Amino acid sequence: MEAVNGGVNKRAGAVSRTRQAFWLGLGNLVSFGFGIVSAAVLSRMMPVEEYGTWRQVLYVYGTLLVVFTLGMPRAYSYFIPRVPEEQALSALNRINRLFIVTGLIFALFLWCCAPLIAEALGNPALAAPLRCFAPVPAFLFPVMGMEGVMASRRCTAYATLYVILSRVFNLVCVVLPVAVWHCGASGAALGLTLSSAACCAVGIRLMRRPFRGIRREPASLTVRGILRYSLPLMTAGIWGILIQSAPQFFVSRWYGAEAFAEFANGFIELPFAGMVIGAIAGVLMPEVSRLAAGSEADVGRVFELWRSTFRKSASIIYPLAIFACVYAPEIIGLLYGSRYGGAVVYFRIITVVNLIRVVPYAPVMLGLGMSRQYSMASLVPAIVVGAADLAWVTLLAPAAEGSGIMPAGIGPVGIAVIQCCVLMLHISMMLHYLSRRTAIPVRRMIPWRHCAAICGISVIAAVLPSIALDFLPAGWSPFVRLLIGGGAFVLLFLPPARCMGIRYNDLIRPLLRSRR
């Protein structure tokens, strides 16, 4: 009887995790959709240099975000599942108060240092929109933990609702000043500030909703306890943000706003891959936090779930990444127009990363008590990427272009290649540490044959229709070419995938059941 109950509980837990992952994935999909629409509209309405300045504003915010959040966004997923239910709301309020303070400090920093940041990025026009943007952290920080709170309380549908509302606010408030009043980057920044204020008001109400009807008690959680957990993550986050922001800094500083606009539009990881990974990470982190203090069997069960996820994620991400690489000209042309044709090469380079970044590593490493290894796995690549990019822009690229070995304008492309190599180093180090901690060889952690087979049939299914389309008359729109190529890809890919034992309806069926 215990075995039967255990099996039922295990299936119920799997369905619950699937339901939470479904809602988080849907939220990521909505966020991606509105982000793409906003970028597509603004890139067409703004001059290239003005749009590059707007992207620099977002880049500055994203770069400094890890420092000023002090690693605390993960604190929601870590502490709320661990405290008694009666203390959960008190713990939430305590973490939120810290976020209010850090958000105000961040806003003041952006306002005061805007001219210095603009000078550092070599764009004097950046100072004004950056000051218009400065209040945004004060509004967004108190709702920074929306996903973690809702995942901890198994109410991720509310997180999806918040994402929908916030993205609608953002799209309307950012696009209208540019479209109607032609305000440029400063108008877009003011619109985002107004949208952030509305998001803060809605988000705070939603975050408290899962705690209705629960008896409240003061939490034993202290500020010192929160910081003791979050500050090591802040250190790891700083290294991570250096890895992510280094190429944008060097392209912006050495090659100008126009080159930065092309680079920013093209050098983005496949958004659908981010949706899958983000949904998995959002569910895993609270689960690992609950099981981390349990037995070795509990820890092994979490890692077993992580390994099984690898196959499912690869089955979804690999075909999308390879299709996007082959049809990159059509995708970029459809999204941003013909002016950003130079972004195609960056888009193709970054798809290589999607072939290895198919599962979230951070929740598993932190749940297994590997915060020091996690920080080290980020520190080494951060040093490598900074040194390699600096050497490239100051020595290697000028020498190669001057001698005629490489064509002019190759500089940003080299930055993109270096970034891909460093990201692969980053992931390899995390796999190495996980292998040492769990005593499972890397060759067993990754389903190599499955991944190779998926890649092989994806390449064939994507390349053959692309070659056929080249023989058609010129002048077909990117949308039509994508529609034909996508249909042919599905028809060529699904039969051999089914022969491999991949049943995509089996991957979707639990999501449909979870909604009933």
Report yes or no: 257 and 421 within 8 Å, Cβ to Cβ. no
Mean pLDDT of 447-452: 85
Report yes or no: 192 and 137 within 8 Å, Cβ to Cβ. no
Euclidean distance between the first and the last CA atom of the chain, given in angstroms as a whole number: 27
Structure confidence by residue, pLDDT tens digits, 299-348: 566 667 667 777 777 888 889 889 989 998 888 888 777 777 788 888 88
- Which of 330, 335, 320, 202 lies closest to 269 in space, CA to CA? 320
Which of 297-311, 357-371, 427-441 shows the lowest mean pLDDT across its residues?
297-311
- 502 torsion bin: left (phi>0), alpha (psi -120 to 50), beta (else): beta
Report yes or no: 314 and 450 within 8 Å, Cβ to Cβ. yes
Residue 456 pLDDT > 70: yes
Alpha carbon distances (Å) from 434 to 227, 361, 363:
25, 9, 12
- Which of 429, 394, 106 lies closest to 243 in space, CA to CA? 429
Report yes or no: 271 and 320 within 8 Å, Cβ to Cβ. no
- pLDDT bin (cut points 50, 70, 90) of residue 6 is very low
Cα separation, 310 vs 318, in Å, equals: 11
Residue 105 pLDDT > 50: yes
Cα separation, 254 vs 252, in Å, equals: 6
Q: Note whether residue 232 is domain-resident.
A: no
26-30: long-range contacts at Cβ-Cβ below 8 A with a sequence spacing of 24 or more? 26/160, 27/147, 27/156, 27/159, 27/160, 27/162, 27/163, 27/164, 28/163, 28/274, 28/275, 28/278, 28/279, 29/272, 29/275, 30/160, 30/163, 30/164, 30/167
Cα separation, 263 vs 37, in Å, equals: 18
Q: What is the DSSP letter of 308?
A: H
- pLDDT bin (cut points 50, 70, 90) of residue 128 is very high
Q: Note whether residue 284 is domain-resident.
A: no
pLDDT on residue 368: 66
Report yes or no: 264 and 419 within 8 Å, Cβ to Cβ. no
Burial of residue 48 (number of CB atoms within 10 Å: 0-12, 13-18, 19+): middle
Q: Note whether residue 182 is domain-resident.
A: yes
- pLDDT bin (cut points 50, 70, 90) of residue 4 is very low
Report yes or no: 254 and 45 within 8 Å, Cβ to Cβ. no
Alpha carbon distances (Å) from 165 to 30, 100, 111, 190, 461:
10, 22, 27, 18, 38
Q: How many domains does the chain have?
A: 1
Report yes or no: 187 and 232 within 8 Å, Cβ to Cβ. no
Q: Note whether residue 351 is domain-resident.
A: no
Give the Cα-Cα-Cα angle 356, 362, 368 (nearest 5 degrees).
120
Residue 262 pLDDT > 70: yes
Q: Which residues contact 338 (CB under 8 A, 6 or more apart)?
A: none
Helix and strand numbers (H, E) in the chain are 22, 0
The residue segments making up the domain with residue 181 are 12-221
Looking from the CA of 70 toward its CB, the CA atoms found within 13 Å total 22
Residue 374 pLDDT > 90: no
Q: Tell if the pTM clears 0.75, that is, is over it.
A: no
pLDDT on residue 113: 93
Mean pLDDT of 7-13: 44
Using DSSP, state whether 295 is helix, strand or coil.
coil
Alpha carbon distances (Å) from 248 to 48, 270, 273:
16, 17, 21
Mean pLDDT of 172-177: 85
Alpha carbon distances (Å) from 122 to 53, 250, 254, 413, 421:
11, 11, 8, 20, 27
Give percent above pLDDT 70 in the chain. 79
Q: Note whether residue 346 is domain-resident.
A: no
Q: Note whether residue 22 is domain-resident.
A: yes
Q: Note whether residue 60 is domain-resident.
A: yes
Report yes or no: 220 and 214 within 8 Å, Cβ to Cβ. no
Q: Note whether residue 63 is domain-resident.
A: yes
Q: What is the DSSP letter of 91?
A: H
